[in-house]
């Protein structure tokens, strides 16, 4: 019997690598290379290659579970959905709609993220919705919006990276987190460009760099300001660009000049000669880029830190020009699209602000509700989790595992246990799902069709390749059935293309305009970059209502409308601000929320390893990946190991003000002597996020995952 391969995309990181899925005669599926997709050109990392393993009924959920007698036992879909609806309705009636919490995930498709946000606001009427993407790139989003008027992870495609002159890669270990992307940086060096990596550890990525800067964790802000100081002092600013395309330079310049090289060296540990060399490598080519990731962003000053790196780009004319710019390397598979369409506490579809009256009118018009009925902005992710069991009495959670991934995780676990009612929809029985009153088994990547938006802002179509198990349904089915049970019979379709057509209308005229994108286009093209309006700019000038009215009755046909090509490169003509100018934002260095002291003399930083993904809920169920990365570890410098009397593999306890984690020692000179590192993929006694600090950035509400004060103790037998 002839088998057919289905072109689709990987379920894991924001590269969304292209792959083919082929059903096998003996059952199961095979993943093969798809060379036509320009991001990975056929290359796949181990996680992508082994993704079909999680489709197995041996490792995934195959029927609803309901808690009875303290245990989760199988139940029918009708019984599980009836129970969820009854408990949500009872709590809403007794305590009000904001007693209902909703928590989403950066792996949900655009259709599911859009519907979840609509469900929270239209059916439940709650403001209490956020998602785990808040823990990903919210600081970069806030800084990018301040500076450019618009946030999109990368304002240019990855294919531009090899053709620029220099890249500063800040706080990203691409060799382990996004391995197929490393080829772009290898090609950069092959073409004569240079790579500067900023990371406290000498990672596999840092090994590829022409220059590795290893600052003390939490000092990336001072480092960026020190580089900008040198740019000014050495006369390397682009004065014509600053004058013609920016505003606010005088204030930002004054702030940077307070960070002279020797002062920055004392703060960061990066020597003055290295600072000067970094400035030379960055400024001498005609083009250059700065790319940030979780290192500088997951800090209580993450927005200011990213802002300082953006200021460096603006001062040197390295933004809004070909082969130059600032970009953020989004982590989660749909971290970009997930927040654009409404599951973030303060946003409506199309990247509109929830407190903007015009945005509320537009989206309410699409949804057929009164704008005044939409709740206002709610709590950010950690603040929502912290409020569980107090004024938030129930939680509906989809596609997230905060028991492992949230900061101060033991406290978050305690808050989840204190809820009146917890319902979880997921692919596997995660550590969070194990605490639930109801668990719903939902479809995953190969079993459903839907769109995602990659780190480039490229909207992609994932196609269904196989049927799910009989008792497994999509998240769209879950939300439809709950909406009906809660009295809203229309507006929550289960067909993803029908949802996407509504999303197009809701996003029309917004910053993240998807209205010119259709499933047909996505099936024929290798993705479409937003913004992609469906009508000529002249119609858009008549206002959002005109844009909405101009969409065709049958969008799949695009009859009578122009076809917008999409926008691979942003800001080449103007920035997305009212006056078209980028804005410098003056920032100054400040200490981390928690600095070492006599009781906690070391710094902890956290991250990922190549063979696991995020909280590990899926990858820890794959034998090949577990063989490569079986458990947590504590990475420390030989000098620290000698002081502790610890040898390779010895159990070590890492202790912070929030708790204690135990894992084997991994001794290496690749880390600073004042710093220890732990990966955060595992639960139990080695859970790194037991230790991390939930101190929040005042703008982005990002927790300070990347640095906290700890002590390390040898664990003696007995």
What confidence tens digit (pLDDT) does each residue in 684-701 have?
Answer: 999 999 999 999 999 999
In 402-443, at which residue ranges do the beta strands (DSSP E only) sit? Answer: 421-426, 438-441
Non-local CB neighbours of 618 within 8 Å, separated by 6+ positions: 11, 54, 427, 428
Question: What would the pLDDT profile of 473-501 be if each residue is shown by its tens digit?
Answer: 999 999 999 999 999 999 999 999 999 99
Residue with tokens 């920035």: 575
Confidence (pLDDT) at 716: 83
For the CA atoms of 484, 443, 427, 479, the dihedral, rounded to the nearest 10 degrees, stands at: -10
Q: Which residues share a beta bridge with 195?
A: 167
DSSP state letters, 674-695 = TEEEEE----GGG-GGGT-EEE
Q: Give pLDDT, residue 705.
A: 97
CA 112 to chain centre: 16
- The continuous run of DSSP H or E covering 498 comes out as helix 496-507
Q: Which residues contact 691 (CB under 8 A, 6 or more apart)?
A: 604, 654, 655, 656, 658, 659, 660, 661, 678, 708, 710
CB 178, CB 150: distance < 8 Å:
no
- C-alpha dihedral (183, 105, 433, 295), degrees to nearest 10: 50
Q: Which helix (H) or strand (E) holds 348?
A: strand 347-348
Using DSSP, state whether 290 is helix, strand or coil. strand
Share of residues in the chain with pLDDT > 70 (%): 96
Cβ contact 293:171 at 8 Å: yes
- The DSSP secondary-structure symbol of 442 reads B
- Total-model pTM: 0.94
Q: Give the residue ranges of the chain where pLDDT is below 70.
A: 1-3, 535-562, 718
**Percentages of the chain per state (helix, strand, coil), in multiples of 5:** 35, 20, 45
Q: How far apart (Å, rounded) are the C-alpha atoms in residues 246 and 121?
A: 38
Please give the order of strands across the beta sheet that includes 6-9.
6-9, 18-23, 29-33
Residue 192's closest CA among 278, 279, 276, 286?
286
Beta-bridge mates of residue 459: 453, 528
Pairing of strands 18-23, 166-170: unpaired
Give the whole-angstrom CA distance, residue 27 versus residue 139: 44
φ/ψ (deg, to 5) at 655: -125, 130
Strand (E) or helix (H) holding 635: strand 634-636
Beta strands in 354-468, from DSSP E residues, in sequence order: 394-398, 421-426, 438-441, 450-453, 458-462
Give me the helices (H) in 439-495, please. 475-485
DSSP string, 46-94: HHHHTGGGGGSTTTS--S-EEEETTEEEE--HHHHHHHHHHHHHHHHHH
* Measured distance CA(188)–CA(698) in Å, rounded: 36
Looking at residue 28, its pLDDT comes to: 86
Q: Which two tokens stand for residue 212?
A: 């590795």
**Residue 620, CA atoms < 13 Å, CB-side half-sphere:** 16
**DSSP conformational letter for 388:** B
Q: Tokens representing 60?
A: 């995934």
Please state, in angstroms and rounded to a whole number, the distance separating the CA atoms of residues 108 and 113.
6
Q: What is the pLDDT of residue 718?
A: 63
Q: What is the token pair recorded at 376?
A: 């206002």
At 561 the pLDDT is 52
Question: How far is residue 499's CA from residue 451's CA, in Å, rounded to a whole number?
Answer: 11
Instruction: Assign 122 to helix, strand or coil.
Output: helix
CB neighbours of residue 606 within 10 Å: 22
Helix (H, G, I), strand (E, B) or coil at 485: helix
Q: Please, which residues bridge with residue 654 across strands?
A: 661, 712
Query: Is the Cβ–Cβ distance between 42 and 35 less than 8 Å?
Result: yes
Contact between 421 and 113 under an 8 Å Cβ cutoff? The reply is: no
């Amino acid at each position: 019997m002839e088998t057919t391969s289905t072109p689709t995309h990987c379920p894991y990181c924001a590269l969304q690598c292209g792959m083919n899925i082929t059903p096998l005669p003996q059952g199961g599926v095979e993943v093969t290379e798809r060379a036509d997709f320009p991001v990975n050109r056929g290359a796949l990392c181990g996680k992508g290659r082994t993704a079909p393993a999680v489709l197995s009924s041996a490792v995934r959920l195959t029927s609803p579970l309901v808690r009875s007698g303290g245990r989760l036992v199988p139940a029918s879909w009708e019984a599980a959905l009836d129970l969820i609806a009854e408990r949500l309705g009872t709590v809403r009636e007794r305590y009000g709609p904001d007693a209902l919490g909703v928590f989403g995930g950066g792996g949900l498709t655009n259709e599911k993220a859009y519907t979840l946000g609509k469900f929270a606001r239209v059916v439940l009427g709650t403001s209490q919705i956020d998602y785990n993407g808040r823990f990903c790139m919210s600081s970069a989003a806030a800084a990018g919006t301040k500076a450019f008027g618009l946030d999109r992870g990368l304002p240019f495609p990855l294919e531009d990276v090899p053709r620029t002159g220099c890249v500063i890669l800040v706080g990203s270990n691409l060799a382990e987190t996004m391995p197929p992307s490393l080829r772009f940086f290898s090609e950069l060096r092959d073409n004569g460009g240079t790579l500067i990596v900023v990371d406290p550890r000498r990672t596999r990525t840092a090994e590829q760099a022409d220059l590795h800067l290893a600052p003390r964790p939490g000092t990336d802000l001072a480092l960026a300001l020190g580089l900008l100081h040198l740019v000014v002092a050495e006369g390397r600013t682009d004065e014509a660009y600053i004058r013609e395309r920016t505003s606010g330079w005088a204030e930002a310049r004054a702030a940077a000049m307070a960070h002279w090289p020797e002062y920055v060296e004392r703060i960061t540990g990066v020597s003055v000669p290295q600072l000067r060399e970094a400035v030379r490598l960055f400024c001498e080519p005609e083009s250059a880029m700065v790319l940030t990731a979780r290192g500088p962003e997951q800090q209580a000053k993450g927005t200011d830190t990213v802002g300082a790196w953006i200021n460096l780009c603006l001062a040197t004319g390295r933004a809004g020009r070909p082969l130059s710019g600032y970009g953020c390397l989004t982590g989660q598979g749909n971290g970009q699209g997930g927040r654009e369409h409404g599951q973030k506490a303060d946003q409506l579809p199309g990247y509109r602000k929830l407190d903007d009256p015009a945005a509320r009118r537009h989206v309410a018009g699409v949804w057929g509700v009164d704008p005044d009925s939409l709740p206002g902005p709610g709590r950010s992710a950690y603040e929502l989790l912290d409020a569980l069991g107090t004024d938030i009495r129930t939680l509906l959670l989809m596609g997230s595992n905060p028991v492992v991934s949230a900061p101060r995780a033991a406290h978050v676990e305690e808050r989840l246990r204190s809820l009146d009612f917890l319902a979880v929809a997921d692919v596997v029985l995660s550590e969070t799902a194990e605490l639930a009153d109801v668990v719903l088994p939902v479809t995953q990547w190969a079993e459903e069709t839907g769109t995602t938006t990659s780190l480039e802002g490229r909207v992609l179509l994932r196609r269904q390749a196989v049927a799910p198990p009989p008792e497994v349904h999509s998240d769209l089915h879950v939300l439809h059935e709950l909406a009906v049970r809660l009295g809203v019979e229309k507006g929550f379709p289960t067909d993803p293309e029908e949802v996407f057509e509504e999303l197009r209308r809701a996003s029309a005229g917004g910053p993240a305009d998807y209205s010119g994108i259709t499933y047909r286009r996505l099936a024929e093209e290798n993705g479409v970059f937003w913004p992609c309006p469906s009508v000529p700019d002249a119609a858009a000038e008549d206002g959002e209502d005109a844009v909405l009215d101009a969409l065709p009755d049958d969008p799949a046909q695009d009859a009578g409308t122009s076809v917008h090509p999409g926008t691979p490169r942003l800001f080449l003509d103007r920035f997305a601000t009212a006056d078209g100018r980028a804005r410098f934002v003056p920032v100054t260095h400040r200490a981390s929320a928690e600095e070492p002291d006599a009781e906690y003399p070391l710094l902890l930083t956290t991250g990922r390893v190549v063979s696991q993904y995020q909280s590990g809920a899926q990858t820890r169920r794959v034998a090949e990946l577990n063989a490569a990365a079986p458990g947590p570890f504590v990475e420390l410098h030989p000098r620290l190991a000698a002081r502790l009397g610890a040898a390779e593999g010895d159990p070590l306890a890492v202790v912070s003000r929030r708790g204690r984690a135990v894992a084997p020692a991994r001794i290496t000179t690749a880390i600073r002597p004042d710093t220890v590192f732990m990966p955060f993929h595992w639960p139990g006694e080695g859970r790194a996020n037991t230790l991390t600090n939930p101190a929040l950035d005042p703008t982005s509400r990002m927790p300070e995952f990347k640095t906290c004060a700890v002590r390390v103790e040898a664990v003696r037998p007995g």
